[in-house]
Amino acid sequence: MKTVIIGGVAGGASAAARLRRLDEHMQIVILERGEYVSFANCGLPYYIGGEIKDRDQLTLQTPQSFKSRFNTDVRVKNEARAINPDKKTVTVKELETGRVYEESYDKLILSPGASPIRPNIKGMESDKVFTLRNIPDTDRIKTYIEKKHPASAIVVGGGYIGVEMAENLKKAGLDVTVVELSDHLIAPLDFDMAADVHRYIKDKGIKLVLNNGVQSISDNGRLTVELQKGSICADMLIMSVGVRPDSQLAKDCGISLNGRGCIVVNTHMQTDIKDIYAVGDAVEVVDFVTRKPAFIPLAGPANKQGRIAADNICNIPSEYEGTQGSAVLKLFDMTVATTGCNEKSAVAGGLDYDKTYIYSGSHASYYPGAKNMSIKALWEKKTGKILGAQIVGFEGVDKRLDVIASAIRFGAKITDLASLELCYAPPFSSAKDPVNMLGFVAENIITGKVKQYFWHDVERLKKDSGATLLDVRTQTEVLRGKIDGAIHIPLDKLRFNLAMIPKDKPVYVNCHSGQRSYIACRILSQNGYDCYNLAGGWRLYESVVHEQASEYDCTKCR
């Protein structure tokens, strides 16, 4: 049997390797129109920033290594031009010679990937405007920096790649501005969790222009970028506004696509044309949580899909169960990680959810170096099933998110996190790990031990004469800032000052993180008060309000 794979990198290369492990005698051909069959595209920004020194480290496999280890015929610079399902052939063009030939197949796997979106904006053709998707893109950016010595750069798009590029351009010595059409960076985050990221990235010297889009680009020796509001200038620009599935080849041969242009496949990664499979960034997936069709181009799912397609070709029943969107981002010393639904996708998916925030240390507070991380989790009200989580912090963020992502995959409830037995030693965690704490807090809410209110309720409550706001932090904390109109009674003095709090109104309590105010609510509720705890505390509220009021003035760049 002969299997032809169109496209390498994550999906195609993993499919080829799996096919060979399963069938030593199969003929396997990879057709790759680019120069590289398998490379670390997630590592490209770090080569530009100098974190990865050796360019060769980005190349995971070569045609020669594939041949020697997996006995696979890898043909780089061979572009598939047409698929002929009736004849079961692929029309191929050798890009270096111009020769066109037909390649037959018994099974065909499409792994064409996705291409960077290049908006229809005047000035995109400038040689100072770049996208980043592959090694040649990386070489162009790296060469431009080394030869032209630009002093400044604009990154358009605040997703994972855009933020990673901003960090690495800053490390390369450039003055960097990120322009993002949305109100916050990193779309899988909710705004409240992105607020800490905004403050941190600005502290690192990167300027943020949010709620603003590019209208045009002009190149007069230096780039001038006209925005919806104002303009900014720089020596180079990275366009990082997302990717679109590279699915024209599939469309031309009659394979079904969805409205977004993604190749439609079943759970076995089969298209609707017999003996043709598709994997990777070009395919439609099912969102694991909402069970709705989605486009989530990530390397981990692409690798798994390649393996599943290979299994099914070799008559091993294997199914892809959906994509959670688990992802992690390094931003200087900060770590940002997400999995499953955020509030926007939960609403779009019609989910009835509640949410929990905690602010916990990466390890025992008495062991040197502990830093707090902000964690937000969503769960389904009716079942308690975990729907998604977001973590922003420093040390230990990735392992906590991985635990929660695993819990989601196995259908756990938010309260199940309380019972997990996780590794503990002072340098690594606390006896009550942040994941456990997330479960404890949710359990208290679900069982009615405490009611909560949120940062977005505060402005309304400040104007509500029928509500009492109570701050139970210390005097020193309150002097740094507080919610206007809140009564201040430190927690340790609360029992002796209950008479100061009206009993005929609900009481809305806050502390720094929500922990002391929970204790205050327990005291108050057992003394006959109707009490609510500020989820995430003053710290979260202040961070969000500060960032909502913060806007970079682009008019001064004219």
Contact at 8 Å (CB) between 288 and 323? yes
**How far, in Å, CA of 387 to CA of 351, rounded?**
9
**How far, in Å, CA of 164 to CA of 45, rounded?**
6
Q: DSSP states of 492-521 as a string?
A: GGGGG-GGGS-SSS-EEEE-SSSHHHHHHH
> Residue 86: is it exposed, middle or buried by C-beta count within 10 angstroms (0-12/13-18/19+)?
exposed
Pairing of strands 223-227, 231-234: antiparallel
Contact at 8 Å (CB) between 253 and 270? no
Q: DSSP states of 293-343 as a string?
A: EE----HHHHHHHHHHHHHHHTT-------B---EEEEETTEEEEEEE--H
Backbone angles phi, psi at 264, to 5 degrees: -85, 125
Number of H helices, E strands in the chain: 15, 32
Contact at 8 Å (CB) between 224 and 128? no
Please name the amino acid found at residue 313: I
Backbone angles phi, psi at 277, to 5 degrees: -110, 160
Residue 521 falls in the annotated catalytic set? no
**How far, in Å, CA of 283 to CA of 263, rounded?**
4
**How far, in Å, CA of 471 to CA of 461, rounded?**
14
The closest of 543, 93, 28 to 306, measured between CA atoms, is 28
**How far, in Å, CA of 306 to CA of 14, rounded?**
5
**How far, in Å, CA of 472 to CA of 405, rounded?**
34
**How far, in Å, CA of 283 to CA of 295, rounded?**
7
Q: DSSP states of 454-497 as a string?
A: -GGGHHHHHT-TT-EEEE-S-HHHHHT---TT-EE--GGGGGG-
> Residue 517 half-sphere exposure, CB side, CA atoms within 13 Å?
27
Which candidate in 42, 233, 314, 557 is catalytic? 42
**How far, in Å, CA of 341 to CA of 332, rounded?**
25
Three-state secondary-structure class, residue 25: coil
Contact at 8 Å (CB) between 222 and 233? yes
Please give the positions annotated as active site: 42
